[in-house]
Amino acid sequence: MTVTIKDVAKVANVNPSTVSRVIADSPRISEYTKRKVRQVMEELGYHPNLNARSLVSNNASAIGIIMPSSVEKAFQNPFFANVLGGISNLSHEKHYSLYMSTGATQQEIYSEVVKMVEGRRVDGIILLYSRANDPITNYLVEKNFPFVVIGKPYNEEGKSAYVDNDNFGAAKEITEHFIKNGHRLIGFIGGSPELIVTMERLNGYKKALENANIPVVNEYIVHTEFHKEGGKGAIAKLMSLKQPPTALIVTDDLIGFGVLGTLQEMGIKVPEDICIFSFNNIMLTELTNPPLSSVDINIDQLGYNATDSLIKLISNTENVPKKQIIPHQLIVRESSNGKVINNKLKINN
């Protein structure tokens, strides 16, 4: 026999309308009542008919997730799996399903977003990237559709809610870490220069060099894709220079893995010949040889907070924060454990 809202209300000793509001996570219902009703729902095995609820409320009870590239390509990078973990945790708690973009090209992804919005397939969207002059961001702003960016928006700070790290500050701290250890030849491997995260980290790197009166050498700056193959090509280019860098900032762990593997193939030792510091601090960084120094950007928290902001925007909650900066931490491991003394790189004791 099917359990109904009335059955739940009777056992919980509340009105059926209260049960409906608990299902909708209404702020008008106290947390005590919500816990009591949800416990009864679980005991009775009651599952809300979300499709029927969507028809009545004109809500899809779904959140759109937009990748920077195709899902298949994006999931080669563990960052996206981790950030989706944070998104799905709160989405599940708030009874939202996830709807991911499936396009293989930028145009296909844009078309998918238009279908999501015009077809009311989702109530709001999370962009897992921030790109200069992005047509998807421009479209969502024009439509006044609820969305949150993971990353700093390009010239849209006043219009878009976003969750980010202090990428400028983190890259500046890494560069200062290397400078403190005597390095003057410091390379930078970043993703696409169109991505705001790359711009911010590159600017932080340059600012630290400028403060230390170290010239910025364009040959030491390489842009590539966020995957291992990109790291291989980038480090091969840098190490072929007449005077290769003694330290290297890599803006993504997956690129860093490619860098480490290629250096090993070339017979170049880390950190004896070159030091490396990366970003994201995914689980595998501790298992590389040597363990990879990396910036912990709290990936799960980025996803969780972005989802929280979006659900508040969807619900028209007042005082939704437009800007949230998630703390980061430099995790120093063996790969950056080298100091330059008398123009020679030596391992720190």
Helix (H), strand (E), coil (C) string for 88-128: HHHHHHCCCEEEECCCCCHHHHHHHHHHHHHCCCCCEEEEC
Q: Are strands 124-127 and 161-164 parallel, antiparallel or unpaired?
A: unpaired
220 and 308 in a single domain? The answer is no
| CATH number for 305 | 3.40.50.2300
342 and 210 in a single domain? The answer is yes
Average pLDDT over residues 267-274: 95
Share of the chain above pLDDT 70, in %: 92
128 and 12 in a single domain? The answer is no
Average pLDDT over residues 65-86: 83
CA gap 292, 281 in Å, rounded: 8
Residue 229 vs residues 226, 235, 249: alpha-carbon distances, Å: 8, 10, 17
Output the pLDDT for position 56. Answer: 47
Average model confidence (pLDDT) across the chain: 89
Range with lowest mean pLDDT among 156-165, 309-318, 327-336: 156-165
CA gap 289, 278 in Å, rounded: 14
Amino acid sitting at position 103: G
DSSP letters spanning 226-239: SSHHHHHHHHHHHH
102 and 2 in a single domain? The answer is no
If you count them, how many residues does the chain have? 349
- Tell me the range of 25-39, 86-100, 252-266, 292-306 where mean pLDDT is highest: 292-306
Helix (H), strand (E), coil (C) string for 52-67: HHHHHHCCCCEEEEEC
Q: Is the pLDDT of residue 49 over 80?
A: no
85 and 154 in a single domain? The answer is yes
205 and 264 in a single domain? The answer is yes
Q: Which residue has the higher pLDDT, 61 or 226?
A: 61
Q: Is the pLDDT of residue 85 over 90?
A: yes
Q: Is the pLDDT of residue 332 over 80?
A: yes
Is 117 part of any domain?
yes
Is 201 part of any domain?
yes
Average pLDDT over residues 114-130: 90
Is 287 part of any domain?
yes
Q: Which alpha helices (DSSP H) does 146-278 contain, by range?
A: 167-180, 196-211, 228-239, 253-266
Find, among 111, 132, 130, the residue nearest to 121 by Cα.
111
Bridge partner residues of 124 (DSSP): 63
Output the pLDDT for position 233. Answer: 85
HSE value, Cβ hemisphere, 13 Å, CA-based, for 232: 9
Q: Is the pLDDT of residue 198 over 90?
A: yes
Average pLDDT over residues 34-47: 87
Is 285 part of any domain?
yes
Q: Which residue has the higher pLDDT, 60 or 40?
A: 40
76 and 200 in a single domain? The answer is no
Average pLDDT over residues 173-178: 98
Output the pLDDT for position 62. Answer: 92
Is 116 part of any domain?
yes
Over residues 203-228, the pLDDT tens digits come to 999 999 999 999 999 999 999 876 66
151 and 182 in a single domain? The answer is no
Is 46 part of any domain?
no
Neighbours of 286 (CB within 10 A): 12
Grade residue 267 by pLDDT with cuts at 50, 70 and 90. Answer: very high
Q: Which residue has the higher pLDDT, 131 or 125?
A: 125
Output the pLDDT for position 192. Answer: 87
Report the number of distinct structural domains present in the chain.
3
Q: Which residue has the higher pLDDT, 276 or 41?
A: 276
Amino acid sitting at position 282: I
Q: Is the pLDDT of residue 124 over 90?
A: yes
76 and 218 in a single domain? The answer is no
Share of the chain above pLDDT 90, in %: 58
Output the pLDDT for position 55. Answer: 44
27 and 136 in a single domain? The answer is no
Is 259 part of any domain?
yes
198 and 93 in a single domain? The answer is no
90 and 116 in a single domain? The answer is yes
Is 57 part of any domain?
no
2: containing domain:
1-36
Output the pLDDT for position 204. Answer: 98
Output the pLDDT for position 325. Answer: 96
